[in-house]
Amino acid sequence: MVPKQTFCGARPAWSHVEHQIVECRRCPRLVDHRENVARVKRAAFADQEYWGRPVPGFGDRQARLLLVGLAPAAHGANRTGRMFTGDRSGDWLYRALYRASFANQATAVNKRDGLRLDDTFVSAAVRCAPPGNRPTPQERDHCRPYLEGEIDLLASTGEGIRVIVCLGQFAYDQVLRIYRQRGFPVPSPKPKFGHGQEVPLGTGDAGGRGGGFPRLLASYHPSQQNTFTGKLTEEMLDAVFLRAREILGSGGHGRS
C-alpha cells in the first residue's frame, strides 16, 4: 500500500515549527496552568525563571530515532524549556540514552548543561504541562500538527526516521493515530500497548529517506509512578534502547 501522504514531501523550516509551538495559546486550560505554575513555582526552584510556554522538541535534526513522550512536566520542562529536563523522568531517560550511546552524558539539568543527543530527537504528544498530567482529547488534537511538523522535518533529512520509541500509552496511541490518518499501512486492529511491543508502520525495510517505514517500539513511561513501583526498571528501559540500537546498527547514525 502506498501512503496517501508521506512524511517526506514539502516541509516547513525548523524555525517555523518551533515558533508555532512556542507561541501557541490554543488551549486556555493549558495556558492558565503552565503560566500559573511558572508564577507560583516550587520552593526548590523559587530563584529560577520558569520557561512557562509550550516546549518544542530537541536533539539531532538528522536523527533516525524519535522519542515521543506525553507532555512537559510542570516543574521539569515547563521550568527548563527542554523536553524531559529537570525532573525524575528525565533522569531515567537520559541515563538510559547515555548507556545506549545516544547521549553524551547521563544528566539533563538545563539548556546550558552541555547535553548532546546523537541520532536522537526527543519530543512529546502535547507541548504544555497539563493539570494532573492528563491532557484532554481536544488539547491532544491541537498539538498534533506540531509533532507532525517535526516528523516531516526528520523524515526529509538524512536517512529519515527508522525507529520511534513511544514512552507511555498516550504517546503510543497518538503516533499510531497520526500514521494511520496519514495513510500508512498501520496494523489493524491496533496492537495492544505493552512494554517492548513492536509495531511496523508499513512493510519493507525500516526507514530510508523517500518512503521507508519506521518501526515503533513501546515503553512504559519513566514516570515516578512506574519507576518507584518497579513497573519499569532500568533494565527494561535499557532493553528498549538496545533494540533501537539493533535496528539502527552500531555507531552514530550507523555510518561509523
On whether residue 110 sits in a domain, the answer given is yes
User: Which three cell numbers, joined as nine digits, stand for 194?
Assistant: 505493552
Contact 214, 164 (CB under 8 A): yes
On whether residue 7 sits in a domain, the answer given is no
Domain at 180, CATH number: 3.40.470.10
Residue-wise pLDDT for 70-119, tens only, equals 999 999 999 999 999 999 999 999 999 999 999 999 999 999 999 999 99
**pLDDT surpasses 80 at 252:** no
pLDDT of residue 5: 46
pLDDT confidence of 9, banded at 50, 70, 90?
Answer: low
On whether residue 255 sits in a domain, the answer given is no
| Phi, psi torsion values for 167, nearest 5 degrees | -95, 95
On whether residue 27 sits in a domain, the answer given is yes
| CA–CA gap between residue 77 and residue 128 (Å, rounded) | 9
On whether residue 253 sits in a domain, the answer given is no
Q: How many domains does the chain have?
A: 1
pTM above 0.95, yes or no: no
